[in-house]
Amino acid sequence: MKIGLMSDTHDRLDAVERAVKFFNDAGVEHVLHAGDLISPFVASKFAELEAKLYYVWGNNDGDREHVREKFGEIGVKPLGRFASIELGGRKIALLHGEDEDVVRAVGKSGLYDVVVRGHTHQASIQENPVIVNPGEVCGYLSGRRTVALLDLKTLKAEIVELEG
């Protein structure tokens, strides 16, 4: 089973639409977002997403009360700063990842099969422990608008550049 990973959407609505379409076309049932959605109005864009969305706060998410309300309208409940998620027999840690020491420690803890993080805006896939950063949906810093797919059986991830 493959799941979708995304992070750092930073108000870029057209890129969010593309990401949602990509995940719908890919037929994933679960999408993990590692934070920095930013404005409440972006939350409504996820209404089209067919997969279940898991969201953790990023450091730039300001108006959390309003984001929570907007997500609530489409049945999404933000999971705090850190989420421990079990899917397909795998344990996944989801966090924004501002502190590299924390990301490394969670990875090395042995409690998780995969750590999903964002924040750096750089897509990366690390093995042993498996730490995946899907990069930035917004494309502001890297010039690339990316998401990732993670195969829960093989624990192999792939970075996908959103077209258009």
Residue 155 and residue 15: Cα distance in Å, rounded? 26
Instruction: List helix spans (H) across the chain.
Output: 13-26, 40-43, 64-73, 100-108
From the list 20-28, 34-42, 126-134, 151-159, the region that binds Mn ion by CB under 5 A is 34-42
State the nearest-atom distance from the C-beta of 57 to Mn ion, in Å: 10
Residue 25 and residue 152: Cα distance in Å, rounded? 18
State the nearest-atom distance from the C-beta of 68 to Mn ion, in Å: 18
Regarding 109 and contact with Mn ion (CB under 5 A), the answer is: no
Regarding 84 and contact with Mn ion (CB under 5 A), the answer is: no
Amino acid (one-letter) located at 135: G
**Which string of x and - marks every residue 112-131 that binds Mn ion (by CB under 5 A)?**
-------x------------
State the nearest-atom distance from the C-beta of 58 to Mn ion, in Å: 4
Among 58, 78, 107, 135, binds Mn ion (CB under 5 A): 58
Amino acid (one-letter) located at 23: F
Regarding 107 and contact with Mn ion (CB under 5 A), the answer is: no
> For residue 139, which phi and psi values (nearest 5 degrees)?
70, 10
Closest to Mn ion by CB, 28 vs 103, is 103
For residue 133, which of 33, 17, 29, 28 has the smallest C-alpha distance? 33
State the nearest-atom distance from the C-beta of 61 to Mn ion, in Å: 9
From the list 17-25, 83-91, 111-119, 131-139, the region that binds Mn ion by CB under 5 A is 111-119
Closest to Mn ion by CB, 2 vs 33, is 33
Q: How do the residues of the chain divide into helix, strand and coil, expressed in percent and rounded to 5? A: 25, 30, 45
The residue length of the chain stands at: 164
Q: Which residue's structure tokens are 């279940």?
A: 52
What is the binding site for Mn ion (CB under 5 A)? 36, 58-59, 119
